[in-house]
Structure 1
Amino acid sequence: MPPSIAFNEHQLTSVFQPIYAVAQGELAGYEGLLRASAAPGRMIRINALIAGLNDAEIVSLDRTARTLHLRTFASVDPGTKTLFLNLHPVAALAEAGSAKAMRGRVGYFGLQPSRICFEILEGACADEGLLVDAVAACREMGFAVAMDDFGVERSNFDRVAALRPDYVKLDRTVLANAMGDAKARRVLPSLIDILHAAGSRVVVEGIEDSAGALIAIESGADYLQGFYFAPPSAQLHDDELTGRILRELLRMRGPSPAIMARLPGPPPAARRTSPTGDSLVSYREPPFETVE
């Protein structure tokens, strides 16, 4: 049984979803995600659990979730990958004065701050200026910082400019819009270019199929996350086949010029056929129209 923690008559457990680096064509880290049940076998949405909580309760839940993720991850830690942990802006403000305690909590579970990235959630907080200070305190302790769900609520260009995150994670709706609308598809590379110019690496979330993965790769995404590669699980997914699938997608379409410049060795050949490519028939949709 995976570790669990009780909170407000609910039982909380951790699951982890892998995040893949495009340039390396391999696993880069995991996002810790929370699962809650009101009774055995009766799962509830985390948003439903959060709804109605006051600020003090949000801070308590946030801290509880991070502790649970750290404890669970430490029990299966491969020793090299980054762990992405959600951090509600309200909790970030509350933790701003205790960044050393956060570092101590990470160290207690045998992890180094350099392997932890705090994802600032898209919700509002009482003072965006104090949020900037809170993020600076995290960085001083050696943690990386990401902005989650860009394109939703307060996760926007204003917050990017203020926080200067190491990573920006595009909300799944951004990719969904690009897949469903030609204009939005043409805009996606420009959006990623702007975020790169701001100094952030870009994670595209919500990769559900190879078409979405190809759009993200062609648009210049640095990292990919979604059910196409692996669903969230209590066990850490690190399947060599998944890496082969990603590398074959890179060969099929080729990454953006910016990504190609960072690839070691010669650039991958576009649309090269291979035995791995033959094995991907079940993963591929009908011929995909290349973005002009």
Structure 2
Amino acid sequence: MLSGFYLHYQPIFYLHDLSRVLGYEALPRHPAGWSPHDLLREARRVGAIPVWELRVLERAVEEVLLRTSETLFLNLTPEAFTDTAFAVRVRRAVEGKGVSPTRVCVEVSEQSLYTPEEFGRALEEWVGLGFYVALDDFGTKGSNLDIVLSVKLDFVKLDRVLVGGISRDRQKQRLLTGLVEALSGNGVYPILEGVEDEDDMKWLAGKGWDVGVQGFALARPGSLPCRLERS
């Protein structure tokens, strides 16, 4: 069942210049209509992790890194992220295609359970191999500020719960402003996920932040090239 998967890509734009793409996030799809979570669950059920994740990476490298000049953002499970041998295999696979690991950013979800020590060790291994690392879904559940402040992340993707409706919510505005300023001041590049409302987009554009933005108000996932939805 996993063999029928294909990839869609959602671009991440620079807020201060929406004509520029920071990178593309790879999102697995399946003809049967399975979501990425369904595919991941099936891969875990049949014991195909992290082999399946390596197949996703190899296809994304061919479809993105060999065709564009942008960065590839790739979601990893905790099993893959904390597996040193897998990190080495990923580097070999990327370099085997003639591509530098510096064009790949691995994303790991905040919803996964890590101690700061465990996360820090894995992050050092990936960074040492030349990859970028992003913490995804920040703002869900407990918001692991201890991890964010104790390690040197390249990107933090702020979850849609912090962004949706921000143009009408003063509390969210204060919270997001504080988080963006704190992350930027700590040398982390923020990416705002789930930008789906035009009014929210206008509010964000008015802030003048140097951040990435991603969401349906900008472009929906699709095959490359992804079209910017806004005029």
Find the counterpart in structure 2 of residue 21 from structure 1. Answer: 14
| Deviation (angstroms), 1:71 | 2.9
Q: Check the 8 A contact 2:135/2:155 in 1, yes or no.
A: yes
2:215 alignment partner, SS class? coil
Q: Check the 8 A contact 1:89/1:131 in 2, yes or no.
A: no
Q: Check the 8 A contact 2:164/2:197 in 1, yes or no.
A: no
| Deviation (angstroms), 1:180 | 4.8
| Deviation (angstroms), 1:195 | 1.3
Find the counterpart in structure 2 of residue 11 from structure 1. Answer: 4
Q: Check the 8 A contact 2:14/2:21 in 1, yes or no.
A: yes
| Deviation (angstroms), 1:221 | 5.3
Provide closer, same or farther for how the CA distance between residues 156 and 56 of structure 1 changes in structure 2, counting only shifts above 3 A.
Answer: farther
Find the counterpart in structure 1 of residue 51 from structure 2. Answer: 60
Find the counterpart in structure 1 of residue 205 from structure 2. Answer: 217
Supply the distance in 1 between the matched residues of 2:127 and 2:82 (Cα, whole angstroms): 14
Q: Which runs of 4+ in 1 moved over 6 A?
A: none
Task: Give the letter aligned to residue 33 of structure 2.
Answer: M
Supply the distance in 2 between the matched residues of 1:175 and 1:197 (Cα, whole angstroms): 20
Provide closer, same or farther for how the CA distance between residues 111 and 197 of structure 1 changes in structure 2, counting only shifts above 3 A.
Answer: same
Alignment RMSD (CA, Å): 2.6
Provide closer, same or farther for how the CA distance between residues 179 and 90 of structure 1 changes in structure 2, counting only shifts above 3 A.
Answer: farther
The correspondence for 2:95, drawn from 107, 122, 125, is 107
Supply the distance in 2 between the matched residues of 1:205 and 1:121 (Cα, whole angstroms): 13
TM-score (norm. length: structure 1) = 0.69
Find the counterpart in structure 1 of residue 145 from structure 2. Answer: 157
Find the counterpart in structure 2 of residue 275 from structure 1. Answer: none
| Deviation (angstroms), 1:54 | 5.5
List alignment gaps of at least 5 residues for structure 1: 1-5, 246-279, 281-292
Percent of residue pairs identical: 27
Supply the distance in 2 between the matched residues of 1:49 and 1:66 (Cα, whole angstroms): 15
Find the counterpart in structure 1 of residue 63 from structure 2. Answer: 72
Find the counterpart in structure 2 of residue 33 from structure 1. Answer: 27
Provide closer, same or farther for how the CA distance between residues 232 and 73 of structure 1 changes in structure 2, counting only shifts above 3 A.
Answer: same
Q: Check the 8 A contact 1:113/1:141 in 2, yes or no.
A: yes
The correspondence for 1:167, drawn from 155, 172, 183, is 155
| Rg larger for | 1
2:117 alignment partner, SS class? helix
List alignment gaps of at least 5 residues for structure 2: none
Q: Per chain length, whose mean CA-contact separation is higher, i.e. which structure has more relative contact order (CA < 8 Å, sep 6+)? A: 2
1:169 alignment partner, SS class? strand
Q: Check the 8 A contact 1:204/1:216 in 2, yes or no.
A: no
Supply the distance in 2 between the matched residues of 1:138 and 1:232 (Cα, whole angstroms): 27
Find the counterpart in structure 2 of residue 81 from structure 1. Answer: 70
| Deviation (angstroms), 1:122 | 2.7
| Deviation (angstroms), 1:215 | 2.7
| Deviation (angstroms), 1:92 | 0.6
Q: Check the 8 A contact 1:55/1:90 in 2, yes or no.
A: no
Provide closer, same or farther for how the CA distance between residues 124 and 56 of structure 1 changes in structure 2, counting only shifts above 3 A.
Answer: farther
The number of residue pairs the alignment matches comes to 228
Supply the distance in 2 between the matched residues of 1:115 and 1:182 (Cα, whole angstroms): 37
Q: Check the 8 A contact 1:89/1:124 in 2, yes or no.
A: yes
